[in-house]
Amino acid sequence: MKQNPYIAVEGAIGAGKTTLSTMLAQRFDFRLMKEIVEENPFLDKFYQNIEEWAFQLEMFFLCNRYKQLGDILLTPAGSRQPIVSDYHIYKNMIFAERTLSGVQLDKYRQIYHLLTDDLPKPNLIVYIKADLDTLLHRIQKRGRGFEQNFDAGYLSQLVEDYETAISHIRAQEPDTVIITIDGNKLDFVERPEDFEQIVAKIKEHL
Ligand SMILES: Nc1ncnc2c1ncn2[C@@H]1O[C@H](COP(=O)(O)OP(=O)(O)OP(=O)(O)O)[C@@H](O)[C@H]1O
Ligand SMILES: Nc1nc(=O)c2ncn([C@H]3C[C@H](O)[C@@H](CO)O3)c2[nH]1
């Protein structure tokens, strides 16, 4: 990856995407793209009643990510700053396949492809793989109000969905470098040497 570095950090809820991408942006002096969380009007309602609010929430995430990525990525590649993002656009499909069904899922899929098929994809994905206990612990520690009565079953399914999705991307986008890091063992928050290990792996591909 010599031109236009574009890194996406991925992993299930609470894996450490925002934390790690913020640290990487600072280290490499890349532009940071973070998704909107606090201003999302549907998250609170969604966690209280997933079936009722899923379509509005997934559409909100899709439109926001499309706007954010499109504004930056659909500019001429030569003039683009290197980027690190705390999500991959495919994240929309990972969640939508889990939360939507029937006609809503069909319509969502169509809109997803219409909006995102021509967006440039990241050339490197850092996939933070962590197990359910680690994620639940971190979500609890972070203490967001709307995540406090978190359904462990939902998260457990998402952990599996992420595994499937990463395999899918590996097969569909063979040019994308995927670096998997062990989110249970590596503590890039507390241990600088763990962060350096991740930085060194990324540098091999920059
Ligand atoms: N490797 C780690 N070791 C210890 N704590 C971590 C690690 N990664 C993240 N944390 C902590 O876990 C919490 C969740 O991290 P963060 O918000 O970065 O996750 P996220 O993947 O962006 O979450 P979300 O999917 O909700 O957007 C934070 O409190 C963060 O400080
Ligand atoms: N349903 C659904 N679809 C998404 O695309 C999506 N992206 C993030 N999230 C949830 C996870 C965290 O609680 C919180 C912050 O990441 O928002 C999502 N939920």
Structure tokens at 191: 């241990």
Rounded distance from Cα 15 to ligand 1 centre (Å):
5
Task: Say how far apart CA 23 and CA 125 lie, in whole Å.
Answer: 15
Q: Decide: 122 in ligand 1 pocket, CB within 6 A.
A: no
Is 91 assigned to a binding site?
Answer: no
Q: What is the pLDDT of residue 80?
A: 80
Is 86 among the residues known to form the active site?
Answer: yes
- Which residue's CA lies nearest to atom 29 of ligand 1? 142
Is 188 assigned to a binding site?
Answer: yes
Amino acid at 45: K
Going edge to edge, which strands form the sheet with 124-129?
31-33, 83-85, 6-10, 124-129, 177-182
Residues 6+ apart with CB under 8 A from 183: 11, 15, 16, 128, 129, 130, 134
Task: Say how far apart CA 184 and CA 134 lie, in whole Å.
Answer: 6
Cβ 18 vs Cβ 193: under 8 Å: no
**H-type alpha helices, 34-151:** 43-48, 50-73, 91-99, 102-116, 132-142
**Residue 125: strand pairing partners:** 8, 178
Cβ 112 vs Cβ 120: under 8 Å: no
Task: Say how far apart CA 86 and CA 20 lie, in whole Å.
Answer: 8
Q: Decide: 191 in ligand 1 pocket, CB within 6 A.
A: no
ipTM associated with this complex: 0.97
Is 105 assigned to a binding site?
Answer: no
Give mean pLDDT in consecutive 10-residue pieces for the chain, a chain of 206 residues. Answer: 85 97 97 89 94 97 94 74 95 98 98 95 96 95 87 96 97 95 95 97 94
- Which residue's CA lies nearest to atom 12 of ligand 2? 13
